[in-house]
Amino acid sequence: MPDEINNDESQLEVYQPEQTENSKAEKIKTKIRFTRFLLLLFAAVFALILLFVNRDKLNLDNFRRLAAKIDIGISSSGSTDNTVINYDYNSDGIVSVYKDGIARVTPENLVIMDNAGTQFQSVQTGFNNPALVTTDKYVMAYDRGGRHLIVTNSFTVVFDVTFDDNIISAAMNDDGYFAVITESEAYKNKLVVYNSSFNEIYRINSMSRYIISADVCKDNKHVAVSSYYVKDDSIIPQLNYYSFTEEESLWNIDFEDQIAVLVRCNDDSTISALFEWGICVVDSKGNEKYRYEFENKILQEYCIPATKYNAAALSDSHSGNSVVTVFENSGKKVSDIEVGAAAVSIDMFDDRIAILTRDNIYVYSVSGNLICQRENVNDAYSVLFTDKNAFLVVSDSDIVYNLTD
């Protein structure tokens, strides 16, 4: 019996190290599994954050654009400094930035491309006087003075309408809400507002005022309007503000002279209006916040985006050289940028401003610091930011893609 006990103990001594090694191996496997779980959890959280940050770009249209690029075998990510990308058609027409490329409308057609020249769509228009509006979601093209209007994404015409009366102007916000002003035989004119599902949600049959310009506010509940009426043989310009739940305007502001040719609803709920004499900013209650008057200077170009900045390129009547003034909606002047030549086109993106002259393209910070300078190519007539670090230069012969850095 003692021998048997010793044998059992010896057997235990033989197998005990193996059990210890198995235990260590299990612990290592457990740690590996736990580490993998943490990595997967971290990747999932990061992906969710990335999706949330870019939620506005996650839509079928953008996925189809990506698939089209892969299918065609063209990628726009390889652009380098001062890269020229020529579009294979005459560039005569109106060009605007759409997503990572352009939309261009002519009397014949509407073309949508990316900045590498990948054409996603071409729609026949037949417009006599084409006009173009682009947002993050849609492209809206219409015949100014005609009756036809279309809304499209990169691949499909999603709304096509022919009005009973001629179109005066139209505007669309980033959510896809848009306002259309038309003439009218029974009224002074009409304003129709559509939601992003292309259903009519509001209409003004104006009996007392002529409506010139309109813009749907960012809350998608109000519309700002520039109009005028006649009193005692005098023209009285107005700004009007309507709620989609009320027939009458919430407030009206009369101005002493000149009609606002453009009204813009800003991201901070203020409203900017462009007059011949200057730019006026009011809040959503109808209180005037700031008035920037051009005085005796000539307005060469202007940029009134839906951000906190506005810009006007002004010159005196002698030299023709532009001074581009940048100011906030609050009225604070940010900078005066002396160009030394006449401004042909200006555009803004975030805190940057691009200025095109006959000879050069300049990109400044809004505070007036020069970021880069490029030579004007082929007598370009328009400069457009595609993002903070890139811009398009449009001429009669081509469209050129440039990087600022």
Just give the CATH number of 295-405: 2.130.10.10
Query: Which one has a higher pLDDT value, 5 or 351?
Result: 351
Q: pLDDT at position 76, please?
A: 43
CA–CA separation, 312 vs 277, rounded Å?
A: 12
Distance of alpha carbon 183 from the chain centroid: 28
Q: What percent of the chain has pLDDT over 90?
A: 59
Q: What is the mean pLDDT of the chain?
A: 84
Q: What is the CA radius of gyration of the chain?
A: 30
Q: pLDDT at position 72, please?
A: 55
Rounded to an integer, the average pLDDT of 129-143 is 96
**Three-point CA angle 27, 29, 32, nearest 5°:** 110
DSSP characters over 299-323 = EEEEE--SSSEEEEEEE-TTT---E
Q: pLDDT at position 233, please?
A: 85
Q: Where are the domains of the chain?
A: 295-405
The pTM (predicted TM-score) of the whole model is: 0.79
pLDDT tens for 28-41 read: 777 777 777 777 77
pLDDT at position 282 over 90 = yes
Residues 6+ apart with CB under 8 A from 77: none
**Beta-carbon neighbour count of residue 337 at 10 Å?**
24
List the one residue out of 114, 107, 113 whose CA is nearest residue 145: 107
Q: pLDDT at position 77, please?
A: 44
Q: pLDDT at position 79, please?
A: 42
Q: pLDDT at position 402, please?
A: 78
The most confident of the ranges 15-19, 83-87, 191-195 is 191-195
Q: pLDDT at position 376, please?
A: 87
pLDDT at position 280 over 90 = yes
* Residue 92 confidence class, pLDDT cut points 50, 70, 90: low
Q: pLDDT at position 351, please?
A: 93
Q: pLDDT at position 78, please?
A: 42
pLDDT tens for 68-77 read: 555 555 444 4
pLDDT tens for 229-270 read: 998 888 999 999 999 999 999 999 999 878 999 999 999 999
pLDDT tens for 355-391 read: 999 999 999 999 999 999 988 877 888 999 988 888 8
